[in-house]
C-alpha cells in the first residue's frame, strides 16, 4: 500500500511538465493589475516545486518551512518599498525549486519562461506612450523592471534556441527571441537591449574558432557600433531631443549613488564588517544634499536602492556579504563555462554574462517578485543533470539503478 508521501510524489510528477506554466499566467495577472493573485500563485508554485523529491531530500522541508513562515511577507504588495532579506530569500527558494532538473525538463521550462514575453508585449502595446513615463510605476513595472525582464527573457529565448532539437521548438524560440528584442525596444531601456545582445555575441564568439582576420574585422565592427551608440546616447548635442540629456543625467546619478552607498557604509568599522542593515539607512544619507544629480532631477530624496547589486549587498550585509556575492558569481561562471564546453546547457553562460553586467547597473531583483523568481529558477540551470534524481536509484547515492529497484 502506497504511503501518502508516495502518492504526493506521483501526483507532483504528473504535474511536473505543466507547473512552469505558472510563469506566463502570473506575469499576465501582474500585467492586469492583479498582483496579489500573481504573487500568491508564484508562492504556491514554489511550494509545489519544493515538495518534489522531498521524500528523498529532507533539506527541502527546511526551505518549505521558511517559505510558509514568510509567505505573508513575500506575497504583500512590494512596489516602491526598500529591499529586505525576503528579496534574497525568494531568489534562493526559486533556485532550490529548479535544483538538479534534467536537460529535457529545462527545455520545457525555457518554453514556459519565454512565454512570459507575450503578456509583457501586450501590456506594452496597450500602454503606448504611457509606458515610458519617467520613473513612475505602470502596473507594478517601471522601465528598469520591465527592461530587465525583457532582457532576461531574450537571453533565455536564445538559450532555448540553442538547446531546441525539433523544427517546431526552434521556430517558437526564434519567435520568442524576436518578441523579446521588440519588448526591449519598446521599453527604451538601453541596457535591456544592449546587454542581452552582448551576452549572445560573446557566447557565439567563444563557440567557434576564429581566424585573425575574422577576429579583427569583428572587433572593428563592434567598436564602430559601440562608438556610434555612445555618441548617440551621451554626446549628441541636438537640444530638441531631450532624452539624450536625460540619459546622461541618469547615468551620472547612478555613478554618484553607487559611490555614496559605498562611502556611507565604509564610514565606520561596523558598517564595513556588518553593513548598515536593510531598510533606508543609506537612502536617508544619500539624498539630494550629497548627490548633485538628484538636485538637478528635482528629487526630494535618495534612491531606494544602490543601482548596483554589489554596492547594495555591501551596504546591507558588509564585507562578508560582498565576498560571498563575488564568490558565488565566480563559481557560477566556472560552472557555466564547463557546461558550455561540454554542450550540456546552452543558456547558462549567456545568462551569467547578462546577470553580472546588469548587476553593475541595477539591483535587478528589487521588489519585483516575478523577476526574482525567474532569476533564481533560471540560475538553477547550473545544476542540471542528465538523469532525474527522483528516478529509481537516485534516492541512495552510489546505488546502481537495478539494485535500488530490487530493494523496493
In sequence order, what are the residues at sequence separation of 6 or more whose Cβ sits closer than 8 angstroms to the Cβ of residue 105?
A: 16, 388
Residues of the chain with pLDDT under 70: 1-2, 77-83, 128-141, 209-212, 214-215, 218-219, 222-223, 225-250, 279-280, 343-344, 364-367, 390-408
Q: How far apart are CA 310 and CA 362, in angstroms?
A: 10
Q: What is the pLDDT of residue 392?
A: 47
Q: What is the pLDDT of residue 136?
A: 41
Q: What is the pLDDT of residue 131?
A: 61
**Backbone φ/ψ region at 101: left (φ over 0), alpha (ψ -120 to 50), beta:** beta
Distances (CA, A) of 37 to 29, 76, 77, 94: 7, 10, 11, 18
Q: How far apart are CA 6 and CA 17, in angstroms?
A: 18
In sequence order, what are the residues at sequence separation of 6 or more whose Cβ sits closer than 8 angstroms to the Cβ of residue 318?
A: 265, 271, 272, 273, 274, 275
Q: How far apart are CA 229 and CA 100, in angstroms?
A: 40
Rounded to 10 deg, the angle between the 35-51 and 85-97 helix axes is 50
Nearest to 42 by CA among 60, 26, 65: 26
Q: What is the pLDDT of residue 146?
A: 85
| CB crowding 346-372: b at 16 or more within 10 Å, else e | bbbbbbbbbbbbbbebbbbbbbbbbbb
Task: Determine contact, residues 179/118, Cβ cutoff 8 Å.
Answer: yes
In sequence order, what are the residues at sequence separation of 6 or more whose Cβ sits closer than 8 angstroms to the Cβ of residue 284?
A: 301, 302
In sequence order, what are the residues at sequence separation of 6 or more whose Cβ sits closer than 8 angstroms to the Cβ of residue 320?
A: 273
Give me the residue spans of the domains in the chain. Answer: 4-391
| CB crowding 263-299: b at 16 or more within 10 Å, else e | ebbeeeeebeebbbebeebbbebbbbebbebbeebee
Q: What is the pLDDT of residue 367?
A: 60
In sequence order, what are the residues at sequence separation of 6 or more whose Cβ sits closer than 8 angstroms to the Cβ of residue 74?
A: 39, 43, 67, 86, 89, 90, 369
In 20-142, alpha helices (H): 22-31, 35-51, 59-69, 71-75, 85-97, 103-114, 117-127
In 231-308, alpha helices (H): 242-265, 269-274, 281-285, 292-296
Distances (CA, A) of 121 to 28, 176, 194, 233: 10, 11, 19, 25
Q: How far apart are CA 325 and CA 319, in angstroms?
A: 10
Task: Determine contact, residues 373/42, Cβ cutoff 8 Å.
Answer: yes
Task: Enumerate the β-bridge partners of residue 138.
Answer: 141
Q: What global pTM score does this model have?
A: 0.85
Q: What is the pLDDT of residue 123?
A: 83
Q: What is the pLDDT of residue 335?
A: 94
Task: Determine contact, residues 110/160, Cβ cutoff 8 Å.
Answer: yes
Amino acid at each position: 500500500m502506497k504511503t501518502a508521501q508516495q502518492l504526493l510524489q506521483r501526483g507532483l510528477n504528473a504535474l511536473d511538465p505543466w507547473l512552469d506554466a505558472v510563469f506566463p499566467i502570473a506575469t499576465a495577472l501582474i500585467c492586469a493589475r492583479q498582483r496579489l493573485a500573481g504573487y500568491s500563485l508564484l508562492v504556491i508554485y514554489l511550494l509545489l516545486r519544493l515538495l518534489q523529491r522531498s521524500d528523498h531530500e529532507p533539506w527541502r522541508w527546511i526551505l518549505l518551512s521558511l517559505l510558509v513562515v514568510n509567505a505573508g511577507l513575500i506575497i504583500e504588495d512590494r512596489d516602491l518599498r526598500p529591499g529586505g532579506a525576503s528579496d534574497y530569500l525568494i531568489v534562493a527558494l526559486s533556485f532550490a525549486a529548479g535544483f538538479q532538473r534534467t536537460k529535457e525538463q529545462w527545455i520545457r521550462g525555457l518554453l514556459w519562461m519565454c512565454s512570459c514575453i507575450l503578456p509583457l508585449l501586450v501590456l506594452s502595446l496597450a500602454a503606448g506612450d504611457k509606458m515610458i513615463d519617467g520613473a513612475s510605476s505602470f502596473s507594478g513595472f517601471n522601465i528598469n523592471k520591465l527592461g530587465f525582464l525583457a532582457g532576461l527573457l531574450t537571453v533565455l529565448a536564445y538559450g532555448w534556441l540553442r538547446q531546441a532539437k525539433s523544427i517546431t521548438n526552434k521556430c517558437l524560440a526564434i519567435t520568442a527571441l524576436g518578441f523579446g528584442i521588440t519588448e526591449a525596444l519598446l521599453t527604451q531601456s538601453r541596457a535591456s537591449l544592449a546587454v542581452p545582445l552582448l551576452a549572445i555575441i560573446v557566447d557565439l564568439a567563444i563557440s567557434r574558432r576564429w581566424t585573425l582576420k575574422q577576429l579583427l574585422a569583428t572587433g572593428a565592427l563592434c567598436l564602430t557600433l559601440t562608438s556610434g551608440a555612445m555618441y548617440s546616447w551621451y554626446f549628441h548635442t541636438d537640444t530638441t531631443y531631450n532624452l539624450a540629456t536625460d540619459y546622461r543625467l541618469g547615468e551620472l546619478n547612478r555613478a554618484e549613488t553607487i559611490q555614496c552607498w559605498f562611502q556611507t557604509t565604509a564610514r565606520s568599522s561596523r558598517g564595513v564588517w556588518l553593513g548598515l542593515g536593510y531598510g533606508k539607512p543609506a537612502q536617508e544619507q544619500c539624498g539630494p544634499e550629497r548627490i548633485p544629480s538628484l538636485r538637478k532631477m528635482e528629487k526630494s530624496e535618495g534612491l531606494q536602492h544602490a543601482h548596483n547589486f554589489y554596492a547594495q549587498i555591501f551596504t546591507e550585509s558588509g564585507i562578508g556579504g560582498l565576498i560571498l556575492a563575488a564568490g558565488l558569481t565566480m563559481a557560477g561562471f566556472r560552472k557555466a563555462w564547463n557546461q558550455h564546453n561540454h554542450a550540456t546547457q546552452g543558456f547558462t553562460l549567456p545568462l551569467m554574462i547578462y546577470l553580472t553586467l546588469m548587476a553593475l547597473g541595477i539591483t535587478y531583483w528589487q521588489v519585483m517578485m516575478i523577476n526574482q523568481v525567474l532569476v533564481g529558477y533560471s540560475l538553477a540551470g547550473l545544476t542540471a543533470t542528465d538523469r532525474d534524481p527522483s528516478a529509481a536509484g537516485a534516492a541512495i547515492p552510489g546505488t546502481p539503478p537495478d539494485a535500488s529497484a530490487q530493494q523496493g
